Structure 1
Amino acid sequence: MQQETAYEGKDISGIIRISIDKDTKVSTLTIETNGKWALYSGSSVDNIDFSTPIAKHPEPEGQGYNRITLSSLSRRYYQLITDEGKATVAERHLPMAGGYNFRDLGGIKTKDGRFVRWGKIFRSDDLHKLTENDLNYLASIPLKSIVDFRGEEEQKFAPDKLPVSVVNEFKLPIDPGNVISLMGLTDLDSTQMDSIMMRMNILFVTDKDFIGYYKEFFKLLQQEKNLPLLFHCSAGKDRTGMGAALILYALGVDEQTIMEDYLASNVYLSDKYAKEIAMNPNLKSVLSVKKEFLQAGLDQIKTTHGSVEKFLETTLEVDIPAFRKQFLY
């Protein structure tokens, strides 16, 4: 395969949108441009076939709005090439019939104009109800390592289903059970629940054991043999949300973008917890995320360490330049 740069020229990543049906895995790609374009595809970013485009602008001119439907049960990556630039893209929200909050961290833009590598780091909620098609899709990545932040009881209640490609499973139980449990919370009002969620996020970055697990997590990420790697908890929003935020901070992503990525869990988890919230609206704070939750943890880091980057370097022992070289285009 001919090797091409992942991104070049003007940032054109915003002119292409991808959606994938979670059951059939059929992809719909929409390209909005009046200019000429060509779209190439591959099973990985390093394996895109540039010999023949899978689609291109209608001759003689582009039509402004172009829709392409593709069927594939495996993970695909695309490079869009126009007269203005090149962009490598994929669907960030993975199409899981048995999961909700599955995401590729790839494609997120950093403050210095670079992009997070696709297909290296994934985040999710629990893997307990994945279908056979889901597992085959994850195996096509191919997913190599799983990091499970859930506590022992959570793991027993909803054991992971793993794709055949997984060779490493790491248990790093960040279990704030003494701070939060659905049992006994039903009598609390939303303000009290918000306070509990903020306390929990502070605990993630102050508890000695939890810090140790996040430190181990970053060690695993920095070993190429463990990649591609997926990390998860039960909902993929709190422990996983903090983990994702720390990764993006280490890669030089601005805090607003980090917060937008964190809050996206509310969109992806809306169906998962709809019944519980309908039965008890006061549980919404526990089963969703708010900016204030993550901000409480980040502010605690800044108060204690001066900056999130300093916390990453001195406490979690992340080699930030090497980390960026590893995970950025």
Structure 2
Amino acid sequence: MTSHDTSHDAGPRGSGTPTEAAAAVPAPEGAAVPGALDLPGTWNARDVGGRAVPIGHDEPLRTGVLLRTASLSRLTPAGQAALSDLGVTTVLDLRGDDELERDGADAVPGGVRVLRRGMDPAQGLQAGGGGGASADPAALIAGLLAADDPTAVARRMMHGVYATFVQDPGIRATVGRVLGEVASSDGAAVVHCSAGKDRTGWVVALAQYVAGVGEEDRRAEYLASRSAVGGLAALVPPIPGLSPDALAPVLTVEPEYLEAAWELAAREHGSVDGYLVACGVTTAVRDALVARLVAS
């Protein structure tokens, strides 16, 4: 697991072709996704604000503060212009080194600060013969090939990935750092990984929790990625000896992934608040995040 601080003003990357289907950009889904953003060259993009209302408040979370996407490595000039129009000043890239090498750096307009904050497990988790677990969908798929029951292994692998968000001290530190950087950004902040559903979903759920958003609304935001990533399965080429159904746990989000990790955080740290303390999230960071996200 890496958490490099490579702040830079990144322009469009070279035109290398990713070798993994999961790195491609799915066609837009027909059904509208709440809060969806039109950012050509990426997908699963939405503003976290504008829908969920924090408990005890009358207004939803502010828009233009926290955005979420899949990888920005293929963002087109039109997508970059849209990013500028949204007032984005900070991009927090949760991808690991292998993903960055495979897919390339984020293609963002000049003046946008890109912070590398890798959230891949420090060590591969062995899951019932399914190989090492990774938060990268392409790596997860590769890990299923030797499994006798790939669907069951895929679910265990996904639960294992989410467990590292709680148990890996390096990832905990990264989670805390990312939340602090969202809180201190002077413009809109984008949080993304490869597919924008698991690592990104975890960080966004925590940001919502700090802002006072209730469980049902946090779950709805997390599960909105089901519609947004629907095109991902169509991009994965047939894999000899592996049923398409076996990939389903990897290519979507399930409420039990989030709920089990949430319960694990509470169990191991006394509460989710205790987990946040273990992540290095101070009272000052929490207050700053609330000030940014919650309409006064």
Superposition TM-score, scaled by structure 1 size: 0.68
For residues 110-144 of structure 1, the C-alpha deviation after alignment (integer angstroms, 9 at most, x for no partner) is 12134211101111111122222111111112211
- Structure 1 residue 167, shift from structure 2 partner: 3.1
* Residue in structure 2 matched with residue 111 of structure 1 by the alignment: 55
Mapped contact 2:117–2:174 kept (Cα < 8 A): yes
Q: What is the identity, as a one-letter code, of the residue corresponding to 1:178? A: G
Q: Give the equivalent residue in structure 1 for 2:184.
A: 223
The structural deviation recorded for 1:248 is: 0.6
Whether 2:209 is the aligned partner of 1:249: answer: yes
Two-structure CA RMSD over aligned residues (Å)? 2.4
Aligned-residue sequence identity (percent) comes to: 25
Bigger Rg over Cα:
1
- The answer for unaligned runs of 5 or more in structure 1 is 1-21, 24-90
Higher strand share: 1
2:195 to 232, 235, 238: 235
CA 299–278 in structure 1, closer or farther in 2 if over 3 Å, else same: farther
Moved more, 101-110 or 307-316: 307-316
Q: Is the 8 Å Cα contact of residues 42 and 74 (structure 2) preserved in structure 1?
A: yes
1:63 aligns with: none
2:171 maps to a residue whose letter is: F
1:183 to 133, 142, 165: 142
**Structure 2 residue corresponding to 1:157, chosen from 102, 113, 123:** 102
Partner of 1:294: 258
d(CA) in 1 for partners of 2:212, 2:288: 12
DSSP-derived class of the 1:216 partner: helix
Q: CA contact under 8 A between 1:116 and 1:328: conserved in structure 2? A: yes
Q: CA deviation at 1:313?
A: 4.1
2:281 aligned residue (310, 317, 320): 317
Q: Which amino acid aligns with 1:221?
A: V
Provide the C-alpha distance between the structure 2 equivalents of 1:260 and 1:302, rounded to a whole number of angstroms.
20
| CA distance in structure 2 between the aligned counterparts of 1:103 and 1:150, rounded to whole angstroms | 18
Q: How does 1:1-329 map to 2 (within 5 A)?
A: 92-107=35-50, 108-113=52-57, 114-176=59-121, 178-179=124-125, 180=133, 181=139, 182-186=141-145, 187=147, 188-225=149-186, 227-276=187-236, 280-313=244-277, 315-319=279-283, 320-329=286-295
Paired AA for residue 192 in structure 2: H
Q: 1:138 to 1:310 in 2, by over 3 A?
A: same
Report the residue type matching 2:234 in the other structure: A
TM-score (norm 2): 0.75
Q: Counterpart of 1:128 in structure 2: which amino acid?
A: S
Return the letter of the residue paired with 1:266: R
> Once the 2 structures are TM-superposed, how far is the Cα of residue 304 of structure 1 from its aligned partner?
1.6
Q: Which has the higher contact order (CA 8 A, sep 6+)?
A: 2
How far apart are the structure 1 equivalents of 2:212 and 2:282? 13
Mapped partners of 2:177, 2:73: distance in 1: 24
Structure having the larger proportion of residues in helix:
2
